[in-house]
Amino acid sequence: MAYLFTSESVSEGHPDKVADQISDALIDNFLAFDKDSKVACETLVTTGQVILAGEVKSHTYLDVQKIARDTINKIGYTKGEYMFDGNSCGVLSAIHEQSDDINRGVDRASKEQQGAGDQGMMFGYATNETENFMPLALDLSHRILIELAELRRENKTIPYLRPDSKSQVTIEYSDDNIPQRIDAIVVSTQHDDFADDDTMLAKIRKDIVDILIPRVVAKLPENIQALFNNDIKYHINPTGKFVIGGPHGDTGLTGRKIIVDTYGGKGAHGGGAFSGKDPSKVDRSAAYATRHIAKNLVAAGVADEVLVQVSYAIGVVEPMGIFINTYGTCPFNMTDGEIANIVSNIFDMRPYAIEERLKLRAPIYSETAAYGHMGRKNETVTKTFSQPNGETTTLDVELFTWEKLDYVDKVKGAFGL
C-alpha cells in the first residue's frame, strides 16, 4: 500500500536559524585568523536582544558584536518594525576560555593522534531518489524557501515578504519506495501588515501558488517536475496571519533544527547539533564524514540507499565502530557487516584525518547554517575577514567538501564494481 512521507525546512530568517548563522559566523572568523581555534559557541536571540555564550581557545581577538550585527543585517532584519534588527539590538557576550579538561583529550603532540572532542554517535545518509542524493521531501522543502528568499530580496513581484518562513512537503511513495506524486505543500511566510486580513490571505496564497511554486518547479529535473499536479493540497499561512515573526515572535537558539540540517527525518540522527562547533567536535566533522561515505557508496552503486553510523569516545583517536544499513538495496551478495568492514578500510575516520580529508579547518561554515548542511553545491569561493585592529585576510575556501564524489572510483575498486 502506498504511503506518505513529510519533511520540513525553515528559512534563514527563522529565529533558530538566525542563532545558527551567528554562531557559525563566529566560527568562520575565528578559523580565518587562527585555524587551530577550538570553539563551541551558542547563541540566543529574542526581542531586540542577542546573547552569545560558549567556550573558546584561540590566539585571535574578534569584535563579536559586529559579527552578530552584520549577520543579522545580511539575513534581512534591518527594520525597527520587526522588533529585532542588526543595527539596534543589544548584544551580550558571555564567551570564555575552553576547559582544560576538555582540551587535554583533543590536542596531542602529534596531530594525527588528536582525540575526539566528545563522545557520541553520528549518522550519514544518502539515497538515489534525487540528483544530489538527498531525500526528495526535504530537498523540495529547502528549494521552496531558497526561492522565497530570492523573491524577498528582489522585492518586486512579492514586495511584502519578511525574513521568517517555514515550508513542508508531503510525498506519496509506492510500496517499492518510489516517489509517485506530491500530496501536500505547506508554506508559512512572515509578511507586512495588510489593511484587510481576508484580502491579505487571498493575496499571499495566490502569490505562493502562482509565482513561487512555478519558479521552484522550473528549476527541477523533468522527472521531479512530473510529481507536481493540480491536486496538491496547499496550506498557505494556515493560521491566517504572520506579521509578528523572527526573534520577536519566538526565541531562537543554536542547534534546534538538527533534522532540517540533515535528512528531514529519513535515515537517523545522533542528536548532536552542528552550528557553533569547530571541527574537532565530532558531532559536526563525523556527521559530514558519514554523509561523504554514504553519498559515495550510493553513487558507486553499492546500494540505492545507505545509512552510515560512526561513534566515538571523548579523547580517543579511533572510532568505536562503523555501522552500515543498506535497507536491503545492495544489488550484490554482501551483508551490511561485510560492507562496513570494507568501508572502514577505505575511509580513515580518525578526527584529524577527517579534518584533513574534508578541509574542515577553514572558514566554510556560515553557508551551512541555513537550508541544510547536506546536499549542497561543492564550490570554491573567496572570503574576506576583518579584525578590530584593522587587519584583514582574504582566503579561497572550498565549501561542502563532504558532497564531493571523489571516492567513487576507490569504492568501486574495493567492491569490484
Backbone angles phi, psi at 34, to 5 degrees: -150, 95
Share of the chain above pLDDT 70, in %: 96
Q: Is the pLDDT of residue 109 over 60?
A: no
pLDDT category of residue 210 using cuts at 50, 70 and 90: very high
380 burial type by CB count under 10 A (0-12 exposed, 13-18 middle, 19+ buried): exposed
Record the pTM. 0.96
pLDDT category of residue 243 using cuts at 50, 70 and 90: very high
- Radius of gyration for the alpha carbons in the chain, expressed in angstroms and rounded: 22
Average pLDDT over residues 120-137: 97
The domain locations on the chain are: 3-8+136-246, 120-127+279-415
172 annotated as a binding-site residue: no
Domains 3-8+136-246 and 120-127+279-415 share a fold: yes
Q: What does the alpha-carbon distance between residue 208 and residue 189 come to, in Å, rounded to a whole number?
A: 9
Q: What does the alpha-carbon distance between residue 248 and residue 296 come to, in Å, rounded to a whole number?
A: 42
Closest CA to 394 of 408, 410, 381, 411: 381
98 annotated as a binding-site residue: yes
281 annotated as a binding-site residue: yes
65 annotated as a binding-site residue: no
pLDDT category of residue 100 using cuts at 50, 70 and 90: low
Q: Are 297 and 343 in contact (CB under 8 A)?
A: yes
pLDDT category of residue 234 using cuts at 50, 70 and 90: very high
219 annotated as a binding-site residue: no
Share of the chain above pLDDT 90, in %: 91
295 annotated as a binding-site residue: no
188 annotated as a binding-site residue: no
Closest CA to 32 of 403, 401, 404, 382: 382
Average pLDDT over residues 217-232: 97
Average pLDDT over residues 47-60: 96
Predicted pLDDT at 101? 59
12 annotated as a binding-site residue: no
pLDDT category of residue 7 using cuts at 50, 70 and 90: very high
391 annotated as a binding-site residue: no
For the ranges 28-42, 88-102, 219-233, 388-402, which has the lowest average pLDDT?
88-102
Q: Is the pLDDT of residue 104 over 60?
A: no
Per-residue pLDDT tens digits for 245-284: 999 999 999 999 999 999 999 999 999 999 999 999 999 9
pLDDT category of residue 47 using cuts at 50, 70 and 90: very high
Q: Are 169 and 149 in contact (CB under 8 A)?
A: no
Q: Are 283 and 120 in contact (CB under 8 A)?
A: yes
pLDDT category of residue 196 using cuts at 50, 70 and 90: confident
Q: Is the pLDDT of residue 40 over 90?
A: yes
Q: Is the pLDDT of residue 108 over 80?
A: no
Predicted pLDDT at 113? 66
Average pLDDT over residues 104-133: 81
Question: Strands across the sheet with 305-312, in order?
Answer: 120-127, 305-312, 321-325
9 annotated as a binding-site residue: no
Q: Which residues, 6+ apart, have CB-to-CB distance to 301 below 8 Å?
A: 331, 412, 417
CATH T-level assignment (fold) for domain 3-8+136-246:
GMP Synthetase; Chain A, domain 3 (3.30.300)
Pick the CATH number of 120-127+279-415 from 3.90.1150.10, 3.30.300.10, 3.30.450.20, 3.40.50.2300: 3.30.300.10
Q: C-alpha grid cell for residue 300? A: 558507486
242 annotated as a binding-site residue: yes
Per-residue pLDDT tens digits for 321-332: 999 999 999 999
Average pLDDT over residues 52-75: 96
Q: Is the pLDDT of residue 116 over 90?
A: no
Predicted pLDDT at 117? 74
14 annotated as a binding-site residue: yes
Average pLDDT over residues 234-241: 94
111 annotated as a binding-site residue: no
359 annotated as a binding-site residue: no
